[in-house]
Amino acid sequence: MIKVDKLTKTYTTYERGGTFREALKSLIIRKKKMVEALKAVSFEVGEGELIGFLGPNGAGKSTTLKILTGILFPTSGSVEIMGYVPWKDRRKYVANIGAVFGQKSQLLFDIPPMDSFLLNQSIYNIPEQTFRKTMNEMVEMLDLEKIVRKPTRQLSLGERMKCEFIMAMLHKPKIVFLDEPTIGLDVIAKGKIREFILDQNKKGTTFILTTHDLEDVEHLAKRVIVVNHGEIVFDNTMDKLRTHLGNKKAVHVTTHNPLPSLNHPGIIIRNQHSDRDAEFELDLSRLKLNEFIKKLNEESVISDMSIENLEIENIIKDLYGREI
């Protein structure tokens, strides 16, 4: 569905000094600076996929999304989405995509969301019966029956974001681009929106999710692409991402007796709350879990223990910090 090949985007910016004299000088002589936002990025996305597109600030995420939505054109490389080149076939292309940006609204603030929905019906030429059926299903799913007729400016952030999703999905797009869709939302609103995304994905809609909220990624994405310094540093499934740092576990142990000395190559003490309560990181390729448990139980008598996969934040930090 999406084919991106050697996508490159270079910006030209100008440096300016901080002093008054340097500012005056820059009016006549400006020092050019070339910024490579993307460096030969290539990937493919199949129909019905739900992908997390991650990276630190300035990594090239937003530039990629803007090119994929047709807002920007690249310096070099090619993009083909559903047979369209986004920046060339813009009119035909945008009828097949949707977008939700957490910090930019499609709704008009002085009118109710219902009126904005009707405006989108007119823009996309949605037949009346199809429009009513789609809208009613989504309004019911997101629990917005009493909300859609209030002026948008009176809605809470969570209510507004739910309406933004309806705006983006009314014309039944084949691909939806999500940029920080749950930013600033409470737990209940996030849960509703995640359920909505998963439901639409099951019906065949392809999603590309850009976010710094790793809980969204863990709940939604089946595949993750990580960009850093304008290049892809990881492109694989969530399961492969979890094992990126090796076969490791996070273990929290509470014991009856003081903990023994654990100077083993496969054990890292992450946080010691007391002499009977500590958090460990275990490398199971160097130390078997049952051996660790046996040693602790024999010497300190375990009273409570939790064993979890390594937090995805640690894995992402490693990828973000990696130099190309």
Written as six digits, the tokens of 132 are: 């009513």
Written as six digits, the tokens of 72 are: 């920007």
Residue 61 included in any domain:
yes
**pLDDT at residue 197, as a whole number:** 92
**pLDDT at residue 249, as a whole number:** 86
Q: Examine the domain organization and report whether 168 and 277 are in the same domain.
A: no
Q: Examine the domain organization and report whether 209 and 270 are in the same domain.
A: no
- Read off the CATH number of the domain in which 262 is found: 3.30.70
Rounded to whole angstroms, the Cα distance separating 94 from 116 reads: 18
**pLDDT at residue 53, as a whole number:** 92
| Domain closes at, from 218, 242, 266 | 242
Return the bridge partners of 97, or none.
175
Q: Examine the domain organization and report whether 60 and 102 are in the same domain.
A: yes
Element (H, E) at 196: helix 187-202
**pLDDT at residue 34, as a whole number:** 84
Q: Examine the domain organization and report whether 162 and 256 are in the same domain.
A: no
pTM comes to 0.80
| pLDDT-flagged residues of the chain (< 50) | 324
Residue 29 included in any domain:
no
Q: Examine the domain organization and report whether 267 and 160 are in the same domain.
A: no
Written as six digits, the tokens of 184 are: 């600033």
Q: Examine the domain organization and report whether 269 and 226 are in the same domain.
A: no
**pLDDT at residue 322, as a whole number:** 60
Residue 23 included in any domain:
no
Count of domains for the chain: 2
Domain range for 299 is 248-321
One DSSP character per residue, 259-308 reads PPP---TTEEEEEEEETTEEEEEEETTTS-HHHHHHHHHHHH-EEEEEEE
Q: Examine the domain organization and report whether 217 and 255 are in the same domain.
A: no
| Domain closes at, from 242, 262, 279 | 242
Residue 56 included in any domain:
yes
Q: Examine the domain organization and report whether 102 and 223 are in the same domain.
A: yes
Q: Examine the domain organization and report whether 201 and 80 are in the same domain.
A: yes
Q: Examine the domain organization and report whether 135 and 96 are in the same domain.
A: yes
Q: Examine the domain organization and report whether 197 and 229 are in the same domain.
A: yes
- Read off the CATH number of the domain in which 107 is found: 3.40.50.300
pLDDT, tens digit (0-9, with 9 covering 90-100), for 27-49:
777 778 888 889 999 999 999 99
| Domain closes at, from 222, 242, 262 | 242
Residue 280 included in any domain:
yes
**pLDDT at residue 324, as a whole number:** 45
